Amino acid sequence: MSDQTPLPTLPVTFRPGRTRAILLTAGVAIFLVISGIAMLLEQLGPGERLSFVITGALIFWALAQLARVKVVADETGVTVVNIASKRHLAWAEILQVNLRPGDPWVFLNLSDGTSLPALGIQPGIAKEHAIADAKTLRALAEAHSMRDLP
């Protein structure tokens, strides 16, 4: 390992904790406010009240989908959970872990020539934490690729 990042015990989950907390808190608050408004407006009928509650629930669901992103590393490889997709990669498939200045999240360069965004490590609110997570994932990928060499 080039940067001597200590390897954590597997499995390990990387996720944007502060961003997740903000999204889920905002989702609950929005749901409660919209539902509260529906109950306080006396001129609304039952169907209209229900449509308010459903709208609040849909907004919460959308924010919860944004908050579900994560990267899970275990002995078999890495599972990347993004907003609308989930993909498991064997360690051998990961050639490089990148988080360059200005990148919104980590990108995994794969052996098939493609690049996979890993939204579970993003420097938005907690830049230092994301950099540390990216270094840890990079060190894990390097250690496992060396282990898999003949």
pLDDT along the chain (150 residues), means of 10: 70 93 97 97 95 98 96 96 96 95 94 96 90 95 72
How high is the pLDDT of residue 1? 44
How high is the pLDDT of residue 148? 53
At 37, list the tokens: 């408004």
How high is the pLDDT of residue 7? 86
Question: Which residues have a Cβ under 8 Å from the Cβ of 53 and sit 6 or more positions away?
Answer: 34, 35, 38
HEC sequence for 44-86:
CCHHHHHHHHHHHHHHHHHHHHHHCCEEEEECCEEEEECCCCE
How far is the CA of 38 from the CAs of 45, 50, 52, 62, in angstroms?
A: 9, 8, 6, 20
How high is the pLDDT of residue 145? 79
Q: Cis omega before residue 11 (within 30°)?
A: yes
Q: What number of H helices and E strands is found in the chain?
A: 3, 7
How high is the pLDDT of residue 126? 86
